[in-house]
Structure 1
Amino acid sequence: MVDFSAVRAIDFHTHAEEPCCGPRDDGYTEFQEGLAAYFKNPAGVDGMLPTVADTARYYRERNIAAVIFPVDAERETGFRRYSNEEVAQVCAENEDILIPFASIDPAKGKAGAREARRLVRDFGVRGFKFHPTMQGFFPNDRSAYTLYEAIAEEGAITLFHTGQTGVGSGMRGGMGMRLKYSNPMHLDDVAVDFPDMPIVLAHPSFPWTEEGLAVAQHKPNVYFDMSGWSPKYFPEIFIKYANSLLKKKMLFGSDWPAITPDRWLQDFEAAPFKDEVRPLILKENAMRLLGVA
């Protein structure tokens, strides 16, 4: 169990990237090279990306707890997903620093709902990551509600990619990724229909930043993680809301390994956030959302 009183921050957005079942699938290296070019980060080009155990060591050295998850986008990308069970097991071996989330394609329907319940009950998974663009679905599509119902009944958190993505950026046809699925306004319906299920909007939701801010302000169960961007590039209105109306709903997130917490925190220090808001973003809001405050 993470000693939340001792860690200096909680990174709410880190990735388990590498496949668990052998060598990379065809095209996976090119996919990672595209991400690396987008983020101006060599990760994914020179050799394999950090494993979950590598991530634990990195964060332990920095005394930062980390929420970590794979992304189940097998149906749309053809890349095998990283086993949710394997990620959870490595998290259990590093429970002093890692917080396990999972990912299930909503298209898996009742089978996905059964998996979600089992992961929460048997593996201690605390939440579920969705990437509408990579998974090819609108978050408010009723076909996804079977999975949401299971997650909500188990008391777990949902985290949705919102806005533009580095996945497929600059690649032919965007690697088939359709940005329309990740407009945060689709999550307004989900927040209405599942009012007690925590919903985290990942990233500043560009180019729909104001839509995301509106949903988070209007719906009590909606939060923002601030990952995927260096704070020095945050839109002015995003910082304004973080300093005021949404100061108790904003969460530190890096997007490791594409963006490191070292880079994010350095730029956060220089950004115009209020002193009284900084500890809320770095740790206190996440503790409250995780139910440990």
Structure 2
Amino acid sequence: MLVPFVSLDPHRGKRAVSEARRLIDRGARGFKFHPNLQGFYPNDRMAYGLYEAIAETGLPALFHTGHSGMGSGMRGGGGIRVKYSNPMFVDDVAVDFPDMPIVLAHPSFPWQEEAISVAMHKPQVYIDLSGWSPKLFPPVLIQYANTVLRDKVLFGSDYPVITPDRWLADFEQVPIKDEVRPRILKDNAARLLGLAA
């Protein structure tokens, strides 16, 4: 099954809003933002027109959070600024758009506890596990995935960086409760994307 998410640059202003509406009409099921690469704080008001267009539909907005592998080890980090990906900037978006589902993509290193706090505090905020091998997940993430966030944590591999087979093999080694595994691997995403009741 393919569920199309699209990425638009919020710096494009009204053109991005028009493009979002066009893409929604053509079957887009979510929107992805990469603040590090796009060079903006998620709570920058210049992006709010775009968020309004997304929120009107009830579709999710996904924000890359935490350290990005892109630019790692390159001179000056390849010009990519990690500061834009602190999940606390997405907290403002969650307050201002309480009916727009939000996904915090990746374990938000070094701000994992901030991401957990935002997801616990805001009912429409989820955390996806893509971009990191599960064997590198911090214990606090595993603890909350097994308990209060068991319905708000989502599978993701970040293919081709991590293949789904490798991610799933590593996930088998992580102490996630048996009853929580199917929620993370399928059920939570199916509910978020409107594919299940």
Q: Does 1:118 align with 2:22?
A: yes
- The aligned counterpart of 2:129 is 226
Secondary structure of 2:55's partner? helix
The AA in structure 1 aligned to 2:4 is: P
Which of 180, 190, 193 is residue 277 of structure 1 equivalent to?
180
For 1:221 and 1:114, how far apart are their aligned partners in 2? 25
State the TM-score, normalized to the length of structure 2.
0.98
- 1:111-150 deviation line (CA, Å, top 9, x unaligned): 10010011011x2000011000000000001111010001
The AA in structure 1 aligned to 2:150 is: K
Secondary structure of 2:126's partner? strand
The AA in structure 1 aligned to 2:22 is: R
- The aligned counterpart of 1:178 is 81
For 2:49 and 2:20, how far apart are their aligned partners in 1? 11
Q: Does 1:133 align with 2:36?
A: yes
For 2:139 and 2:50, how far apart are their aligned partners in 1? 36
Instruction: Output the aligned Cα RMSD.
Output: 0.6
Q: Does 1:99 align with 2:12?
A: no
The AA in structure 2 aligned to 1:135 is: Q
Q: Does 1:159 align with 2:56?
A: no
Shift of 1:203: 0.5
Large movers: runs of 4+ above 6 Å: none
- 8 A contact 1:117–1:154 mirrored in 2: no
Q: Which runs of no fewer than 5 residues in structure 1 stay unpaired?
A: 1-96
Q: Which has the higher contact order (CA 8 A, sep 6+)?
A: 1
Shift of 1:154: 2.1
State the TM-score, normalized to the length of structure 1.
0.66
The AA in structure 1 aligned to 2:24 is: V
How many residues matched?
A: 196
Secondary structure of 2:13's partner? helix
For 1:273 and 1:155, how far apart are their aligned partners in 2? 30
Larger Rg: 1
> Aligned residues: percent identity?
70
For 1:236 and 1:186, how far apart are their aligned partners in 2? 24
Q: Which runs of no fewer than 5 residues in structure 2 stay unpaired?
A: none
